[in-house]
Structures are given as C-alpha cells and as structure tokens.
Amino acid sequence: MLDLVLVSLVVLPAVVGSVLALAGPAADRTAGPAGVATTALVALAAVLVAFPARGARPAVGTPFMAGSDLALAVDGLAAPVLPTVAVVALLVLLAATGSPDLRTARFHGLMLLFVAAALMTVLAATIPTLLVSWEVMGATSFALIGYHWRDPVAMASGTTAFLTTRTADVGLYVAAGAALAGGAGLGLSSLPDATGGWRDVLAAGLLVAGLGKAAQLPFSFWLSRAMHGPSPVSALLHSAAMVAMGGYLLLRVSPTLAATGWADDAAAWTGAVTTVVLGLVALAQGDLKQLLAASTAAQLGYVVLAAGVGATAAGTTHLVAHAAVKAGLFLAAGLWLEALGTKRLSGLRGAARIWPVVGACATAGLVSLAGIPPFALWATKDAVLAGAWEHSPALYVTALAGAGLAAGYAGKALFVLTRRAPDGVESGWDEERPGSRRVPGWSQGALVPLAAGAVGLGVLALPPLAGRVRHLVGGAAPEPGAVELLVSALVAGTAIVATLAVSRRAEGARGVWPTALTDWLFLERLAHRLVVSPVCRLADLVARADDAVLDRAVGTCAHLTVRLARASARADDTVVDAGVRAVGSGARRLGRLAQRSQTGQLHQYYLQSLIVLGAAVVVLVLVR
Amino acid sequence: MLSLLVFLPLAAAAVLLLPSIGERLARGAFVAVTGIEVVLASLAWGRYDAPASGELALEQRVRWIPGVGSSYHVGVDGLSLPLVVLTTVVFLACAVFAVRESHRPRLQAALFLFLECVCLGLFVSADLILFFVFFDLSIVAMYFSIVGWGHGDAARSALKFFLYTFLGSLALLLGFVGLYVASDPHTFDMVELAAHPPLQGQGLAGGLVLSALLLGLAVKTPTFPFHTWLPPAHSDAPAIGSAVLAGVMLKMGTYGFVRIAMPMLPDAWRAWAPVVIVIGIVSVLWGALVAFAQTDLKRMIAYTSVNHMGYVVLAVGAAGVLADGADEARRVAVTGAVTQMVSHGLLTAALFLLAGSMFERTGDYALDAYGGLASSAPRYATLFTVAAFGSLGLPALSGFIAEFQIFAGSIATVPLTAVAVLGILITAALFLRTLQRVFTGPTTGLSEGFADVAPREWASVGLLLALSVFIGVLPRPLLDLIEPAAAAVAHLVGR
C-alpha cells in the first residue's frame, strides 16, 4: 500500500502535469485548482511515506536498463527533504493563484512536471533513475524560466540555464559509465565500492553534476539568468528544488566523495568559497531577486560544504530551513513586483510597511537569512560550521566569513525594505511592469507557514531534536558547541549592525560596488568568451570544411570520373576506332595490291604459281 | 508470416500501377495497406519467441539459386524485429501524412509500397544475396521518390544520392563475395556464415573483406567522411521521402554492422574496432557541429542524423574491444546501439515530417525567416518541441534510453569515448537555439498566418512521438526484445 503511495508521488504530478501542459488554453480555468489539489495530495503522500505510522519506509523498483532498476526509495536522508519539496510546491502554487498571467494550464502543467521530477530526484536509488529526473528537471526549468516566451530575453535565459546545467550533467553520464566499469553497479548506495581509478572518475562526475545544479562556482551565473522567470518559479526552483537538488545529490553521495580522499575536500572548499564569493555578489546587488539568487548560491554553499565534510544531517537541516526561508522571500519579492511593478531595491524602499503580512513574513525570512538567533538558519548553519571546524579550521573561518556576509546582504535588504519610505519613492515603481497595487489574500496566506519555518525550523539542529535528525539521516558530524553558536551569532550581529550603519550612510550613493561583483564576476561573459564563442566559430569552420573539403572532394571525384569518361571516349575515337579503320583501309590496300596480279597474261600467271610453289616448299622445309 | 508481411505491399503496389484506379482510392489504399502492415508486424511480434543465440525465429527457407549457395531465407531476431516494426510504423505515418497529396498520388503510393516491401525484405533477409538485392532496390526506389516528388535541385541531389550509395553497395557486394569465397562450403547464408565465421585468424584477408563491408555500410549509414550525399538528398526530397530515408534507410547501414560485419568477421572486427570507434566519435562531433552551423532546417536535421548514427557506430566499435570484466558493458553498448536505431527512426521521421509541413505552407526552410511561430501555430510548436527534446536525448523519450546505454557501455569499455558525450551538449544547444529563434519572441516573417497542424499531420507525427514517449517511459518491452540478441552479438564478436 505504501509502495503504491510512493509511486503515486511521482506518477500523479507527472500525469496531471503532462495532461495540463498538452491540453493548452482549453484547460486554463481548471489548471489552478487542479495544480493545487494535486500538490496537496502529493504533500500528504510525501509525509505518509517519509514518516510511516508503522513499518519501514517504502522502496520500489522495476527493471529499467543496463541491468539496473528504475528504483525509488525513501531513506533517512530523503525523509525530511521529501515533505519539504512537496509542501513548498503546494504553498508556491497556492501563492501563484493570485497572479493573473500564471493562471494557465501550461504554467501549472510545467510546475507539476517539475515537482514530479524533483520528487523523483529525492527518491532516486540508481543512477539511471537519478539521470531521468535530473534532466527532466532541467528541461522543465528551461520552459518555466522562459514562461513568458514572447520575451526573447526570458527564452534566452531559459536556454542559458538549461545548457549550463546540462554541461554539468555530462558528469552524470560519465559517472554512469564509471560505475558500470568499476563493478559497483548503478545503485547509488553501492557506489563507494567501485574499484580503482573508476571511483575517482565516478566521484568527479557526480561532483561536477552536483555543483552545476547547485549553482556553485564556477556555474553560478545561470542562477542570475534564471531570475527572468516568474517569481513563483524562482520560489520553488531556487529554494527547495533544482538548486537544492544539486546540494542534495552531493549529500547523498557524500560517502563516495569521501572514499576518494580528494573529492570531499574539493566539494567542501568549493562550497566554502562560494559562500564568501557569492555572498559578496549578493551584497553588491541592487535588485532584490538578484540579491536573493546570489544568496541562494551562497547558502547552498553550506550544503555542499556539509556534503564535503560528511556532516550530512547538518547539511540536510540547512537545506530544509533554507528552502522555507528562500521560498518565502522569493514569493514576497514576486508579490511586490506584481503590486509595485519593480524589484529594484531603490523602488522597494519601505515596501515591507505597505502590506503588513508580506512585510512581517519577509522580515522573518531576512532575519533568519542573516543568521540572527534564534532564527532557523542561525542554528542550521552552525551545525554545518561545526562539521567544518572538525575538518579544518581554515574551512571554518572561510565559511564563517560567508556567514558574516550573509548577515550583511540580508541586513541590507532588511534595511531598505523596512525603513520608512522616503518621499517620492513612488517614482521608482512600475519601472518593470505596471503594478496592480494589491496583494491577493491567498498569496499572503501562503507566506505565513513559510515564515513560521524560517523562524522555527532551527529546532532541527538544536538539542534535543538534532540527535534524532542525525540518527535519521546518518553521517557523523558533531553538534555545534555553545561557543560556536555564540561566535556565529556575534559575527552575524556585528555584520548586520555594520551593514545598517553603512547602508544608512551610503544610501543614494551609486557605483560603490565594483562591476565585477554586481555583474556576478563576469562569469557568464567568461563562459561566452571561453566556451560558447569558440564552439560557434569551430562549428562554422567545420561546416565550411564539410562543404569545401569533403563535399568538394566527392564532387571532384565525380568530375574526374566524367573527365576520365570523356578521355576514354576520345581515346575510343582516336585510338581504338582509328585502329579499326586502319585495319580496314589496310585490307583494302592489300586487296588492291592483289588485284594488280590479275594481268590476263598467261606467262605471268605461270611465274606467279612458280613463286607460290617455291614459297610453299620453303615453308614446308622450315616447318618440318 | 514474414513473406506475407514483406510482399503484401508489393502486391498492392502492382495493383496500384493500374491507371484506372482513382486518386482517392489510391491514397486510401496506401493508408490501409500500411495499416495492415503494422498489424501484421505486431502479430509477428506476438508470435515471436526469442530464438537461441545465432538462430532466427519465424524462419522460412526456399531454394532459390542453389548453384552459388544462395536461398530465399528469411527470419527475425531481436536485432531485426524492432526495425521491422519501426519500418511499418514509419510507413504508416508517411501514408497518413500524404493523405492529401495531390501530385500523382497513385504512383507515389505504389512507389512507397514498393519501397516498404524492399525495406522490410532487407531486415528479414538471412541471405547475403537477398540482402543485397533489397539493399540496391531501396536505392532505386528512393531515387525515383526524390526525382518524382522532390523540390529544388531534386534531379541533381537524387543523382548524387543514387551514385554515391550505389557505389557503396558495390563495395558491399565485393565484401559479400569475399565472405562467400572464404566460406567452406561456399555459402551466402547469413546464419551459417555467423555460425562458422570464415577468415578467422587470417588478418590480411579478413581485414580486406571487412574494409569493403565497412565502406559500403559507412556510406549508407552515413558516417564521416561519407555523409555529404545526405544533406542535399534530404533538403530536396519530399517530406515522406526524407522520413523514410532517415527513419528507415539509414538503419540499413547500422543494421549491417550488427547483422553482418560483427558476427561474420569477429577477428577482423576486433582488430578494426579502434578505427570504428574513432569514426564514430568524429561522426558524433562533426555531425553535431555542422548541424549547429546550419541555417536551413532540413539540412540541420540531416546533420543531426550523422551525429545520431555516430553514437551507433561508436557503440558497436566499443563492443569490439575486449577487456576484463567489460562483458556487461559491451552488451549494454550493443543494446543501446539497436535502441538508438529505433529511437532515431521515430524521432527523425517526426522531425522531417514537421519540416515538410513547414515547406508545404511557406516553401522555405530558412530558420531566420521565422520568429514567434508558437503564437500562430501552437500545436505545431508543441509537436516540434517534443521531437526536438527527444532528439537531444531528454529522458522520458526514447533517445535517452538509447544514448544512456551507449554512453555507459562505451565509456565503461573504452574510457576515451567520453568525449562523445559532448555531442549531446551541442545538439541540446542547437535545438534550443532553433526553438528560441523559430518559435519564440515576437511573431515575424513567414510565421505570420502560418496555419496550425491539420489532423493528418497531428496523427502521423503524434503516432511517432507517442511511440518514442512509450519507449522512453516503459522501455522494457523493447529492451526485452533487444537485449538477448545484443548479448548474442557481443558474444559472437568476442569469439
């Protein structure tokens, strides 16, 4: 029975989503309710299979390909993440019902397809299963980011996002080959058993795939482009799913990374450096969604760091708490964008005071993001930091600097949004689209549970629940000590106070941030210059060679054949046929010669026969 | 059973040659006969029991030319049955697509039914002479299809296609004769040749015969550098001609690898495997890059065929590299190769039919002549998007099932083949760019007033895509059919 629920968790949203996506405008009216109802059922099912009333958590599998199964399983790691994804999806779709331009079958269909893929990623127990959901997630994100497809920029952003993440996905294909060759099979749990160099290839492939999806350095830029999508899309894709799934994959394969002796360090350091660098990028942004996007990459850095140091439970709680925080913040940003027509911080001054519920929820989210006690991300981040400390103090210090930056960028947004709006702030409204000046009740309602999560989910990382979570998820990270909790709270507090002071003074000052930071380290431009343009040039070159060399060679062969044929024809005339003619004319001349012997004079005939007779005798003698 | 399947379209084609048959009746008969063929092929699948390794099911053998050890010998196994079913499906889709054809529909129906007979005949052949006869007749029929119903510079493209592939078939014949001469007792029978491969341990002779076979099959497949006949043939062929050419006839080349070259010349195949792998990798990357640079939709799809067939060549090459503990990987690679033949048949036929729909409406394949087409033709955009995602290897469509196995199997045997994975990146880039340029953004150029798909187009392309999705979601029925046969090939080539 529970097995059936598990299967329906993926099949139900996939089927409803496909039907809606293919039905087109005819189903627009029913799409919203169908989407919300489906995700509600899915959320219920997710809780059921993650925490079954009795018996073990379910696992199902059916033969698929390459000798491995299409297998779904709920283990301790999946148990907390599964309901997170499902509940955030439900709340996001609920909030999206307030947006008039998202009331389409296409939007809800694609969102449901995405949810199915994300849940399948959480549940995947083999590499083929993972790859199926992983790539479908990428493709639906392409369609969702490019949802407003008449806008060429939105579509191009979707393409950038898909191509960047697919570049990283190549790692999974290579990992599959390595797993097959390494004798470990394609099951995710048996991968650490792979032999020799294959294990290194395997770990490298998984690492690249995870870093790409999680928008870690150097792949982070696609997340900036992804902000061209509708806000509810960001609220789901860039909080609880997609980006989070990159971190989740690395948590899942953390033992494989550790087994190589280098991949775990690579993951930990990439995560730690991303918290700092993308923290700086976030601090420099003047656009709320861009700030949140950079912060997502930075926060996922903690999850990746946790995967690197084996602090699986800490990474998982951070992933879950961050999902609630970021979903709420993206939704709030989207609501302001729709109501006020802008997402630029300069236009959003005092926005939190206009609609109290939205303002309060966003404040809760930002305070949590800043790492202020006792809010959720303070505790979950410290659990990760404790793991980093065990591993290496340098790693700890780096990640702590990232925590300070998080307080900085969250504080900056907090200051702008909550302070009293200056006169004339309205001039900054409607710069992106005409605002509706209202926020639908449904959408506000959806924010409240997310804000509650942003406040309270920290209990998962604190005693007494922390122990149970660690028992559930596994991994071997220490709990953060009182000193560490205090240090990080102090760092966050100092940073936020400093930011507030700086913000107050620097207000209105433009261009204080270097372009490198506001422009996401020019990563996209670099990717264009180093990868995209050379490939385009190579393609043009190869296409020209195809025409000018290969095809021309074939044409030349054909022409040579024709020339050879003509030459043969000429030879036929001038040599063969001339020879035949020569034989003919020679015979004719001989005939004429023979005619001359017929003189009619008898004595000459006698002489001729005498010569012939003589010749015959000579021949006879010679031949014998 | 198989003979009925093969020759029913021929009989129908002969009847359709009668001038007294009306156009409507001819078009109806085309759909009806191809429909019956799908049913017959399904029945054959139903009656099929996987034969022992190296043997065939539903076999039939009749004396034909006993003097040279050739007979009318037909049968199917897990390599050929999927292609037989694919052939009938592609022809049905073409018949439905052509149901409004106004240009000499009776002759077109007769020609394509003849072509269906020839294609099916090739895949069920168990005798090299029979195989060769069907191989050559397919070229003739396709030549007439391009000349008679093509557009643009059709006569020239058709001639190029004919001469090039005919030359290839001569190399193939040379190889067949080599196999005949080397076998003892002399025979053209494919089952006997595979059971007792001639030229084992004779490096030079085996290599020469194999190179003749490889040349012939490489032209037909086509692989780099023998592919330049393909783009002009496609861009000037009629829509259903392109669909059959790409969907079915390209498979004759790759089918030849797994049916003839690998099991009959295992020694030589293993010796030549590195060459085959390199040709495969180059085809993958070259095809993808050239496709990326195209500005003409049909030429672009044609070059992606070079890319997709490159994966097949790569996989069968990798299957010829024996390594410790790589037996499973080699089986996976061959399974992937055969799956790719089916998958590419469905998806590329769909893409070419869609390109044909475009040409019917505007007479132009130029990508930059369109923009925002999703606005005027949303259903057309949906079909094209699904086909494009299938072609770039998205999971839940058949292309992924094929390419995953090809990559996993090949990389596990020959790690260097991992470069070929870049091919899926380039194809992703080119299809996304096409979707972006042609279908999204403001509606401009020829997109204005572009009529959305008619029921016949919806039905024919939908059929192909639905099957691709079915294989992508539930691959087991197909893989259960292919896997034993692929394992047999992997075993035979390891002798």
Asked if the C-beta of B242 comes within 8 angstroms of chain A's C-beta atoms, the answer is no
A65–B372: do the CB atoms touch at under 8 Å?
no
The per-residue pLDDT for A510 is 54
Q: Is A394 exposed, middle or buried (0-12, 13-18, 19+ CB in 10 A)?
A: exposed
Grade residue B217 by pLDDT with cuts at 50, 70 and 90.
very high
- Interface residue B222 vs chain A (CB under 8 A): no
Judge contact between A404 and A492, C-beta under 8 A. Answer: yes
pLDDT tens track for A531-580: 999 999 999 999 999 988 988 998 898 899 999 999 999 999 899 989 99
- SS3 state at B103: coil
pLDDT in tens, A421-479: 888 888 888 888 888 888 888 888 899 999 999 999 988 888 888 888 888 888 766 67
Q: Identify any residues that bridge with B189 across adjacent strands, giving them in sequence order.
A: B127
Q: Which of A6-10, A356-360, A427-431, B222-226 has the lowest mean pLDDT?
A: A427-431
Three-state DSSP at A140 gives helix
Contact status of B415 with chain A (Cβ, < 8 Å): yes
Looking at B343-389, which runs of residues are DSSP E strands?
A: 370-371
Inspect the interface and report whether the beta carbons of B436 and A156 lie closer than 8 Å. yes
- Partners of B76 in beta bridges: B57
Span B424-477, pLDDT tens digits:
999 999 999 999 999 998 988 898 889 999 999 999 999 999 999 999 999 999
For chain B, what is the mean pLDDT?
Answer: 93
> If contacts are CB pairs under 8 Å, which of residues 426-485 in chain B contact chain A?
426, 428-429, 432-433, 436, 439-442, 475-476, 479
Cβ–Cβ under 8 Å, residues B129 and B68: yes
Residues of chain A contacting residue B440, judged by C-beta atoms under 8 Å apart: 146, 149-150, 152, 155
State chain A's mean pLDDT as an integer.
Answer: 90
Residue A72: strand, helix, or coil:
strand
Give how far A464 is from chain B: nearest CA, Å. Answer: 43
What is the C-alpha end-to-end distance of chain A, expressed in Å? 112
| Residue of chain B whose Cα is closest to the Cα of A183 | B325
Interchain pair B389, A139: CB under 8 A: yes
Rounded to a whole number of angstroms, the distance from the CA of A369 to the nearest CA of chain B is 36
Contact A66 B409 (CB under 8 A): yes
Residue B361 pLDDT grade (very low, low, confident, very high; cuts 50, 70, 90) = very high
Average the pLDDT over B186-195 and give the result. Answer: 93
Minimum Cα–Cα distance from A555: chain B residue? B160
Residue A22 pLDDT > 80: yes
Among A7, A11, A65, A532, pick the best mutation site for testing chain B contact (most B Cβ within 10 A). A65
Distance from CA of B95 to the nearest CA of A (A): 25
In angstroms, the separation between the Cα of residue A171 and the nearest Cα of chain B is: 9
3-class SS at B152?
coil
Q: pLDDT tens-digit profile of A123-169? A: 999 999 999 999 999 999 999 999 999 888 999 999 999 999 999 99
Q: What is the pLDDT of residue B240?
A: 94
**What are the CA-CA distances from residue B190 to residues A466, B131, B250, B471 (Å)?**
68, 10, 21, 30
B212 Ramachandran zone, left/alpha/beta (phi>0; psi -120 to 50) = alpha
Q: Are B432 and A542 a contacting pair at CB < 8 A?
A: no
Percent of chain A with pLDDT over 90: 61
DSSP assignment of A43-68 equals HHHHHHHHS-SSSPPPEEEEEEETTE
- DSSP for residue B125: B
CA neighbours closer than 13 Å in the CB half-sphere of residue B403 = 32
Query: Tokens in use for A582?
Result: 């020569």
Compute the nearest-CA separation of A478 from chain B (Å): 38
Structure tokens that stand for B118 in this block: 């020839």
Residue with token string 């389409």: A104
- CB pairs A-B closer than 8 Å: 157
Encoded tokens for A1: 């029975």
Confidence of residue A506 (pLDDT cuts 50, 70, 90): low
Sorting pLDDT into bands at 50, 70 and 90, what band is A481?
confident
- Report pLDDT for B465: 97
Of B234, B16, B5, the residue nearest B112 (C-alpha) = B16
Using CB atoms and an 8 Å cut-off, which of residues 383-402 of chain B contact chain A? 389, 394-396, 400-401
pLDDT at A477: 62
User: Alpha-carbon distance B260 to B194, whole Å?
Assistant: 8
pLDDT band at A507 (very low <50, low <70, confident <90, very high): low
CA A340 vs CA A93, A360, B383: distances in Å: 21, 17, 38
| A65–B441 CB contact, under 8 Å | no
pLDDT digits (tens, 9 = 90+) for B378-415: 999 999 999 999 999 999 999 999 999 999 999 999 99
| Chain B residues with CB-CB distance to A186 below 8 A | 408
DSSP lists the bridge partners of residue B171 as: none
Averaged pLDDT for residues B333-360: 96
* pLDDT score, position A364: 95
B296 touches chain A (CB under 8 A): no
How close, in Å, is residue B103 to chain A by CA atoms? 32
**Nearest Cα to A77, choosing from A272, A266, A273, A244?**
A244
| pLDDT at residue A511, as a whole number | 60
Q: Which of B228, B328, B368 to mutate to test the interface with A (most CBs of A within 10 A)?
A: B228
Q: Are B311 and B402 in contact (CB under 8 A)?
A: yes
Spatial contact of A174 and A206, defined as CB atoms under 8 Å apart: no
CB contact under 8 A, B286 and A542: yes
**Nearest residue on chain A to B413, judged by CA atoms?**
A181
Query: How many angstroms separate the CA atoms of B320 and A147, rounded?
Result: 46
Picking from B306, B440, B453, B465 by the largest number of A CB atoms within 10 A of its own CB, the best residue to mutate is B440
Say yes or no for a CB contact (<8 Å) between A65 and B228.
no
B228 at interface of A, judged by CB pairs closer than 8 A: yes
B14-to-A549, B94, B137, B143 alpha-carbon distances in Å:
44, 19, 15, 19
Q: What sign does the dihedral B463-B469-B474-B479 (CA atoms) show?
A: positive
Count CB-CB contacts under 10 A for residue B58: 20
CA distance to partner chain B, nearest, from residue A489 (Å): 45
Across chain B, which distance is largest between two alpha carbons, in Å?
70
CB contact set of A578 (below 8 Å; sequence gap of 6+): none
Q: What share of chain A is helix, strand, coil (3-state, %, to 5)?
A: 80, 5, 20
**pTM of structure:** 0.92
Which among A139, A146, A174 has the least Cβ separation from residue B394?
A139
B214 interface with A at CB cutoff 8 Å = no
What distance lies between CA B300 and its chain's CA centroid? 17
- The alpha carbon of residue B31 and the mean position of all alpha carbons in its chain are separated, in whole angstroms, by 21
Which among B300, B304, B407 is the top mutation candidate for probing chain A, defined by the most A β-carbons within 10 Å of its own β-carbon?
Answer: B407
Whether pLDDT at A420 is above 90? no
What's the one-letter identity of residue A499?
Answer: T
Tell me if A245 sits within 8 A of A307, measured CB to CB: no
C-alpha B35 chain-centroid distance = 20
Higher pLDDT, A240 or A481: A240
State the pLDDT at residue A513: 82
Q: In this structure, what token pair is assigned to residue A6?
A: 């598990």
Percentage of chain B with pLDDT > 70? 100
Per-residue pLDDT at A249: 96
- What is the rounded distance in angstroms from the CA atom of residue B418 to the CA atom of residue A174? 6
Closest approach of B290 to chain A, Cα-based (Å): 5
CB nearest A65 (choices: B379, B429, B475) = B475
The stretch A355-365 carries a mean pLDDT of: 94
Query: Which of A132, A176, A550 has its CB closest to that of B407?
Result: A176
Distances in Å between the Cα of A264 and the Cα atoms of A211, A254, A255, A271, A586 are 12, 7, 9, 11, 97
Average pLDDT over residues B201-221: 91
C-alpha to C-alpha distance for B159 and B233, rounded to whole angstroms: 9
Which pLDDT does position A605 carry in this prediction? 87
Q: Do B395 and A178 touch (CB under 8 A)?
A: no
**% of residues, chain B, pLDDT over 90:** 87
Q: Rounded to an integer, what distance in angstroms lies between the CA atom of residue A359 and that of residue B181?
A: 87
The DSSP secondary-structure symbol of B22 reads -
Q: Which two tokens stand for residue A292?
A: 């949140």
Q: Which of A24, A167, A178 sits opposite B378 (nearest CB)?
A: A24
Rounded to whole angstroms, the Cα distance separating A550 from B489 reads: 33
Please answer yes or no on whether A67 and B328 come within 8 Å at the CB atom: yes
